[in-house]
Amino acid sequence: MKKLLVLTMVLALCVTSVFASGSKEAQAAETENTVQPLRVAMECGYAPYNWTQADDSNGAVRIADSNDYAYGYDVMMAKIIADKLGRPLEIVKLDWDSLVPAVQSGSVDCVIAGQSPTPARKQMVDFTDPYYYASVVLMTMQDSEYASAQGLSDLSGGSATSQLGTLWYDTCLPQIEGAKLLPAQESAPAMLVALNSGRVDFICTDMPTAQAALVAYPDMKILSFAGTDDDFVVSQSDIDISISVSKKNPELTSAINEILATMDENGYNEMMAEAITVQPLSN
């Protein structure tokens, strides 16, 4: 009888051990499956920073609630950050004016979309250290009367536009005395179309956007007055490109800054050059 009792107890312990082990494995799997994705918002239409494409070529990431994919410099950076944080990446496609409100509401974790940390935006969200440095330039057509301009003063009398809600439209273009400022365009592609169609004489943008545009519009010309006394007056924060994060999530801002601290400007420029090379307009 005693032997039977002992045998019963041993079997019970074995069964308990098996179930306990299985339970731990299930809990571990459940924990792994509950790791929240890093939700990153961008326009998915602002090459070479970000764009939409039909497949996952070059390492593109599927856009949430879509059959399309996103790629570009911002996606490259988002992949690096998500990987270092140990979180899956989710790209959320939003209009430019919806990016900051999305961070504020908590519907996305951050915005990686070629944003500059302007004083107005910094009142609404926090910004990381820069993940790119972009100089401000203008673009005109090669056969334009303004193609030989050597400074802003040579652009007086011309008509201009840029993208809505940007430093280019709000701060830079008003510095051109005598220029005719037309309504801002909803997107970067729209401002390029405005120039190419002859609706304006020149547009204002940053160097990466201008370099990417030349692939699709080889008849355009970049006007850069850097190093002259007749250039745009902008602050460093105007040309820095940073990642916006909710003010309620300083931990994420710090974590991203730690990742960016392991990178440098040369690395950023190499990534941007690759993005320009593989953008859809290059193929």
**CB-based contacts of 234: which residues, under 8 Å, 6+ apart?**
136, 167, 171, 172
The answer to the question of residue 80 being in a domain is: yes
Taking the CB of residue 100, how many other CB atoms lie within 10 A of it?
20
Q: What is the pLDDT of residues 217-263, one digit of tens each?
A: 999 999 999 999 999 999 887 889 999 999 999 999 999 999 999 99
Tokens of 217: 């519009």
The answer to the question of residue 114 being in a domain is: yes
Same domain, 142 and 156: yes
Same domain, 253 and 123: yes
Which one has a higher pLDDT value, 239 or 11?
A: 239
Say how far residue 163 (Cα) sits from the centre of its chain. Answer: 15
Same domain, 128 and 141: no
| pLDDT score, position 239 | 84
The answer to the question of residue 233 being in a domain is: no
CA pair distance 142, 161, nearest whole angstrom = 17
CA pair distance 9, 261, nearest whole angstrom = 58
Q: Check residue 170 and report its DSSP letter.
A: I
Same domain, 83 and 127: yes
Tokens of 65: 């609630």
Same domain, 199 and 262: no
Same domain, 121 and 188: no
Q: How many domains does the chain have?
A: 2
Q: Check residue 152 and report its DSSP letter.
A: G
The Cβ-side half-sphere exposure at 168, using a 13 Å CA radius, reads 28
Range of the domain at 140: 136-225
Q: Is the pLDDT of residue 72 over 50?
A: yes
Same domain, 91 and 111: yes
Q: Which position has the token pair 């902008």?
A: 234
Q: Is the pLDDT of residue 13 over 70?
A: no
CA pair distance 216, 195, nearest whole angstrom = 13
Same domain, 156 and 215: yes
Confidence of residue 2 (pLDDT cuts 50, 70, 90): very low
Helix, strand, coil proportions of the chain in percent (round to 5)? 45, 20, 35
Average pLDDT over residues 122-126: 97
- The domain spanning residue 99 has which CATH number? 3.40.190.10
CA pair distance 199, 115, nearest whole angstrom = 26
Same domain, 124 and 254: yes
